[in-house]
Structure 1
Amino acid sequence: MQYTLKQISEHLNAKVINEPSGEVIITGLTYAEQAKENDLTLIDKQEHIKLWQNSKATAAIVSKKISKELAQVNDKPLIVVNNADLAMAKILELFSVPYPEQNGIHEKAIIDPTAKIGKNVSIGPSAYIGKNVEIGDNTIIYANVCIYNDAKVGTNCIIWPSVIIRDRTIIGHFCRLCSNCSIGSDGFGYRPSEDGRTIVRIPHIGNVVIGSFVDIGSNTCINNAKYGSTIIGDYTKIDNLVQIGHNVIIGKGCMICGQAGISGSVTIGDGVIIAGNAGIKDHTNIGSDARIGGKAGVMWDVPAGESHMGYPAYKDSELAKQWIAIRKLPETMKKLKAIAKSLNIDL
């Protein structure tokens, strides 16, 4: 797969600095330090300029704010854009490997006669489609996917192998579900019996509702609601190995990183970012545009727009004061002991 520098710049509607007179062929995309001839790289930060000096890349996509300085480093062509990261994302789409070809419905797929299958739908071998399931147009379902009774999947979705979609789940349009994720599994609801000798399982009869343009990573589990719905808003992106408990409500445009755990009945606003390995206590509210740091343990509500980190999680500015105080603690103890000694006080 290859494109000319001109094709790439036109695709981005971008200006080229140090534009060569002849045709320049780009055959790959990679990091500046790993690049070879005919590769295109990304330079978007001041500290990356040194990498460009030594890079073997043929050309670079660069942020406008550093383009003039970069142009002085050498005479290699630079594609100048306002946001180099987003521009590279568009070029990555050009170079993306097409999805594995899968046309029509495989003869070994199991489809209940009551299921409604849209136009141009592909279903792979050993996939199971249950009673009254609805699949929208242009959706691709790969091998070993199980979609159980009364579930609905919208148009233009991609469901990778071995995904499980349980009963009554509703999935919007243009969603991507990666291998082995489980949608609508039983919520973790148990109570001690009256005599305290056994544990009683609480049935979860609700469902999961996923909006449109949602991505869900491999081995992520989203639990069914006890009643009502567990809800994932439009444009939310969920990494691998994330646990989302029953009756959680997540807003639009959120990003949830790997190994995060969200307990039951948590409510999360729009535009929230939850970093890796963070844990959120049940029945907690996270306001819109909040930020939760990696490995944070959220034990109480987080107001909109605030950043919280640490365990237990505090507002970042407050936690920074605690960390500074802890670092000073050994020296403070020395001084305190000296004062106590001068006063003949035992510590």
Structure 2
Amino acid sequence: MSDTRPTYSLAEIAASLGLTAVGDTALRVSGVAEPALAGPDQIALAMKPDYAAALSQGQARAAMLWDGADWKSYGLKGAILSPRPRHALSGLSAMMDPGQGYAPGIHPSAIVEDGAVLGEDVSVGPFAYIAAGARVGAGSVIAGHVHVGRDVTLGEGALIHVGARLMAGVTAGARLIVQPGAVIGGDGYSFVTPEVSGVERARASLGRDTGAASQPWARIHSLGAVTLGDDVEVGANSTIDRGTVRDTIVGSGTKIDSLVQVGHNVVVGRDVLLCAQVGLAGTSTIGDGAVLGGKSGVSDNTNIGAGAILGGATIALSNVPPGRVMLGYPAMKMDTQIEVTKGLRRLPRLFREVADLKAAMARLRGSD
């Protein structure tokens, strides 16, 4: 571990996190580690008894433990106790994060067009491009090879990592974080045929009627943009499409994982979690506080209620009520889906039993 990293005493860490330090509170650490891998200058993340059991395999002198933990029994010299250690890890990891090393100031190779407005202490990395009419809030970091398009507005404290693309008209509140490769404000996937298409026929007839001849697809241009609230995070290689006429909207506090697709005209509420490979079709709505597990999907014009949870790989083809926990394809109540899965696993045995019954009945008829 680099000697240039800052060190913190247990007392300083506890004070910053509003927690309790015990033992040798002057003990200093410069990083965090898993219990079995921790060195003497690291604080071990032994946040529950199962993790703490591995402390003897490492060299940690201090650990993050749960309230009431018998820290001395683990051979530690000190500890920080928390009623919710995983939440405490949020603050602790922020203290220990060395960052990506983005340099201050504007790199000579960056292009900042006339008419772009940069707030105080904005950092612009090599080969970044900021278009005319863009406004970048104070204290923001625009890393190398980032594209900030025409009339983009970013609130203070934005962190736009390498290679991200913010297309024309995107508006974001304070403290936006965009991971490498994400694209915000690309055109929506909107095409239409001169006559009724096979897809429209299939939907109207529930698949009984298709038979439409091949037709050219006419592009519907995206005239809206994307609006993001405060404290939004967008994961690596995720995409948020601009709206057709109105903006696609993502509410404050929403966290979007990597490889997520948010379609045109979608409205995502506040404090929503969209995990990896979630796909939201156009004009769908996600209520405040909803959680969509990895690979889950939402059909177009579908509403997911506030606080609803879609388990991994769940596909919602119709509206989901607020607070409902859903699973499966098509999505159904989690407890129902579990019973269906159990039933499917019993089918081979059921088939054998039915075959045995048929054979027994045949023997009985033959004995008459």
Query: Partner amino acid for 1:67?
Result: A
Q: Deviating runs (4+, > 6 A) in structure 1?
A: none
Distance of aligned partners of 1:202 and 1:123 in 2 relative to their CA distance in 1, 3 Å threshold: same
Do the aligned residues in 1 keep the contact of 2:102 with 2:143 (CA within 8 Å)? Answer: no
Deviates more, 1:25-34 or 1:315-324: 25-34
The Cα offsets for residues 68-112 of structure 1, whole Å up to 9 and x where unpaired, read as 4x5444454231111111212212111111442433323332223
Matched residue SS, 2:192: strand
Query: Partner amino acid for 2:122?
Result: V
Pick from 33, 37, 44: which aligns with 1:41?
44
Counterpart position of 1:279 = 297
Counterpart position of 1:10 = 15
Distance of aligned partners of 1:39 and 1:178 in 2 relative to their CA distance in 1, 3 Å threshold: same
Matched residue SS, 2:45: strand
- Unaligned ranges ≥5, structure 2: 196-212
TM-score (norm: length of structure 2): 0.87
Hey, what's the Cα distance between the residues in 2 that align with 1:122 and 1:55? 40
Hey, what's the Cα distance between the residues in 2 that align with 1:86 and 1:279? 28
Counterpart position of 1:131 = 132
Hey, what's the Cα distance between the residues in 2 that align with 1:185 and 1:201? 14
Alignment of 1:232 with 2:237, yes or no, is: no
Do the aligned residues in 2 keep the contact of 1:42 with 1:85 (CA within 8 Å)? Answer: no
Counterpart position of 2:209 = none
Counterpart position of 1:191 = 192
Counterpart position of 1:61 = 64
The Cα offsets for residues 206-243 of structure 1, whole Å up to 9 and x where unpaired, read as 11001111111111111010110100100111111111
Hey, what's the Cα distance between the residues in 1 that align with 2:53 and 2:344? 37
- The alignment's C-alpha RMSD in Å is 2.1
Do the aligned residues in 1 keep the contact of 2:36 with 2:56 (CA within 8 Å)? Answer: no
TM-score (norm: length of structure 1): 0.91
Hey, what's the Cα distance between the residues in 2 that align with 1:98 and 1:268? 32
Query: Partner amino acid for 1:152?
Result: T
Hey, what's the Cα distance between the residues in 2 that align with 1:74 and 1:150? 58
Counterpart position of 2:199 = none
Counterpart position of 2:203 = none
Hey, what's the Cα distance between the residues in 1 that align with 2:174 and 2:18? 29
Counterpart position of 2:95 = 94
Hey, what's the Cα distance between the residues in 1 that align with 2:107 and 2:31? 34
- Unaligned ranges ≥5, structure 1: none
Hey, what's the Cα distance between the residues in 2 that align with 1:168 and 1:14? 43
Do the aligned residues in 1 keep the contact of 2:60 with 2:76 (CA within 8 Å)? Answer: no
Matched residue SS, 1:67: coil
Matched residue SS, 2:227: strand
Pick from 314, 317, 326: which aligns with 1:296?
314
Query: Partner amino acid for 1:5?
Result: L
Matched residue SS, 1:6: helix
Deviates more, 1:287-296 or 1:128-137: 128-137
Query: Partner amino acid for 1:50?
Result: A
Hey, what's the Cα distance between the residues in 2 that align with 1:239 and 1:303? 24
Matched residue SS, 1:144: coil
- Aligned pairs (5 A) from 1:197-216: 197-216=215-234
Counterpart position of 2:206 = none
Hey, what's the Cα distance between the residues in 1 that align with 2:56 and 2:323? 39
Counterpart position of 2:155 = 154
Matched residue SS, 1:60: strand
Query: Partner amino acid for 1:199?
Result: W
Deviates more, 1:1-10 or 1:217-226: 1-10
Do the aligned residues in 2 keep the contact of 1:67 with 1:78 (CA within 8 Å)? Answer: no
How far is the alpha carbon of 1:256 from its aligned partner?
1.1
Query: Partner amino acid for 2:35?
Result: A
Matched residue SS, 2:54: helix
Deviates more, 1:97-106 or 1:215-224: 97-106
Pick from 332, 336, 354: which aligns with 1:318?
336
How far is the alpha carbon of 1:39 from its aligned partner?
2.0
